[in-house]
Amino acid sequence: MKGRRAALRRLYAVQGAWNYERMLGIGMGHAAEPLLDDLGRSDPERHREAVVRSAEFFNSHPYLAGLALGAAVRGEYDRVPGAQISRLRTALCSPLGALGDQLFWAGAVPATVAAAVAAVTLGAGPWSVVVLLIAFNLFRAWVAAWALRTGLESGTAVGAAIRQSWLPRAAHLAGIGAGLAIGIAVPLVADWFLSPFQRGGIIGALALAAGGVITARLAGPMYAAPRFALCALAAALVFRLVIR
């Protein structure tokens, strides 16, 4: 099967046409195109049906979409019934979304970013940002290549391949790493920002931080950090202008 490299490149834009109806569907169809080229030459009718299926509704974590893409394309070449391929894509949405969110959005991303933030406060400067980008993107590129390869090799057995892989364990560990990295970064950032100020200012800022955390816990989903901050900034400005 040709087109693996092109498909891998296109997976970087799998959310390019994200929308509320098909979500990643169009991006998946775009990434599947080079992989389905051979099918177009051998069986044009099956190719046409495969193209339609490839762009149907799909939602998962974008970095793990290659697993579903590879499995679906393998199924097309193996002449698996179309309805079964559609069911496979649908069945993969939730696990790939949950695993990817745990591994990346709640794990690797906050862990590496918090580590970079901590490094900046310790004097590493912009180099910490360079290291962050290189380390994260090497890992992300490796995961994308692994996902597409595993999907193409496993076909409809991709569910078992995911269960037996490193993914579930890594997702758990990434969450712990994120907790630790953010925990280390918070006091360092507070010290980095607040050390030039006088005691009264430092106590005020820390009290505001505590108030924000309590407000977030009490308000639940109603709370939004940027809105809280903008309100606090506006209130502080009005207060300063009034007492001046």
Partner 1 sequence: MSLEPGTWLLLLLWGVVVGVDLVSVPQALLARPIVVGSVSGLILGDIEAGLRVGVLLELFALDVLPVGASWYPDYGPATVGAAAYASAVPGWEASLGVACAIGLAVGLAGGASLQWLRHRVARDLHAHGDELAAGRSAAIRALQYRSISRDALRSAALTLLALGLAAAAAQWLSLDPRTENTLTLVAIGCGLAAVIGGALRSAGRGARMRWFVAGAAGTALLLGVA
What is the DSSP code (8-state) at residue 157?
G
Judged on CB neighbours under 10 Å (0-12, 13-18, 19+), 189 is: middle
Hey, which residues does 58 pair with through a beta bridge?
A: 23
The nearest distance, CB 41 to partner 1, in angstroms, is 14
Helix intervals (H) in 43-166: 44-54, 65-77, 82-100, 109-121, 127-154, 158-164
State which residue, 87 or 227, has the beta carbon closest to partner 1.
227
State which residue, 18 or 161, has the beta carbon closest to partner 1.
18
State which residue, 88 or 108, has the beta carbon closest to partner 1.
108
Alpha-carbon distance of 79 to 50, in angstroms, equals 10
- Distance spanning both ends of the chain, measured CA to CA: 73
The nearest distance, CB 159 to partner 1, in angstroms, is 20
The nearest distance, CB 207 to partner 1, in angstroms, is 7
The nearest distance, CB 86 to partner 1, in angstroms, is 14
State which residue, 2 or 157, has the beta carbon closest to partner 1.
2
